[in-house]
Amino acid sequence: MTDAKLLAFAGSARQDSYNKKLVKIAIEGAKAAGAEVTYLDFRDLPLPLYDEDLEAAEGLPENALKLKGLMKAHQGFLIACPEYNSSITGLLKNAIDWASRSQPDEPPLACFKEKTAVLMSASPGGLGGLRGLVHVRSILSNIGMVVLPDQKAIGSAYQAFDEHGNLKDESQQAAIVQLGSKLATVTAKLNT
């Protein structure tokens, strides 16, 4: 059993998002390994596009402060990353950009430095979003996160899930559960 505190989210706002389904499977693995997991749906924290003039005039938006609070309260992130045009989604990049902004009472990149993450993706395409994971990994690594080398991309997502949100392929289901378990275990070890 672990004492890891993990935040789980998908870089998608779509209600029936494949990536929301995917991260929920990973949550099962993290919880089975003893982690405390909080699920975040970005639809619940809408943010304007990052704008330095807006930040200078009004400070961080209330939802950016809420997002930063959630991120700082957790030791690692389970992230399901849709691929848009072979890269990161605007929604996920915008959330990272707002959360990266320092407040007077915190060190730079306090939401990310020395925290862990594991990445996964699901896409209708054959590569399953794999190309976008490269970009997300690069961004998170460059802002101080420890991104586990384990990752999984699920192709043909429109036919990969059953009516309960589980993957039809048992080996794929087990691999995503294992991602959650692995993040919980590694995060707990790094925080003891």
Residues 140-156: pLDDT tens digits?
A: 999 999 999 999 999 99
Q: Identify whether the C-beta of residue 1 lies closer than 8 Å to the C-beta of residue 34.
A: yes
Residues 60-95: pLDDT tens digits?
A: 999 999 999 999 999 999 999 999 999 999 999 999
Cβ atoms within 10 Å of 130's Cβ, excluding its own: 18
Mean model confidence pLDDT for the chain: 96
Residues 89-135: pLDDT tens digits?
A: 999 999 999 999 999 989 999 999 999 999 999 999 999 999 999 99
Domains of the chain by start residue, with CATH: 5-190 (3.40.50.360)
SS (HEC) of 49-101: CCCHHHHHHHCCCHHHHHHHHHHHCCCEEEEECCCECCECCHHHHHHHHHHCC
Which pTM does this prediction carry? Answer: 0.96
Q: Supply the pLDDT for residue 1.
A: 52
User: Which of 91, 78, 157, 147 is closest to 125 using CA atoms?
Assistant: 157
